[in-house]
């Protein structure tokens, strides 16, 4: 279901434009990290959309690009459901759990997860 929603939502490839030395330096670092199988974290003071664009660009440049990039809006998930959303749940685990559901970490297995 998650993959179907994302494919219909029209996510397009990232396009980062800019000519400043700072942007060029960041894009060079993205290329270096994308060539590895390392964990990366995008941090900064503001601009969540900027971090998401950078994370998307990194994902698309990496060997993981053929797999889904799971984006998780943590603020939109109620605290009572965060565990089952991230790690999944089994049918009957709690009242209302009518079917087995895989978590976002399982969706992003061998791929990318971006919490925002």
Rounded to two decimals, the pTM is: 0.73
Q: What is the distance in angstroms between the CA of the first residue and the CA of the last residue of the chain?
A: 20
DSSP 23-50: HHHHHHHHHHHHTS--------SS-HHH
Walk me through the domains of the chain, giving residue ranges and CATH numbers.
Answer: 20-35+45-115 (3.40.50.300)
Q: What is the pLDDT along the chain (116 residues), one digit of tens a residue?
A: 555 555 555 444 567 888 899 989 989 999 999 999 888 887 777 667 788 888 899 999 999 999 988 888 888 999 988 998 999 988 887 777 788 889 999 988 989 988 87
């Amino acid at each position: 279901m998650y993959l179907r929603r994302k494919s219909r939502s029209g996510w397009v490839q990232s396009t980062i434009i800019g000519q400043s030395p700072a942007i060029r330096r960041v894009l060079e670092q993205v290329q270096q990290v994308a060539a590895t199988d390392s964990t990366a974290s995008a941090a900064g003071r503001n601009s969540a959309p900027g971090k998401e664009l950078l994370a998307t660009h990194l994902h698309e440049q990496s060997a993981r690009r053929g797999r889904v990039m799971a984006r998780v809006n943590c603020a939109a998930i109620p605290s009572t459901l965060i565990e089952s959303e991230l790690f999944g749940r089994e049918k009957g685990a709690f009242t209302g759990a009518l079917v087995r559901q895989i978590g976002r970490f399982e969706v992003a297995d061998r791929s990318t997860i971006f919490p925002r």
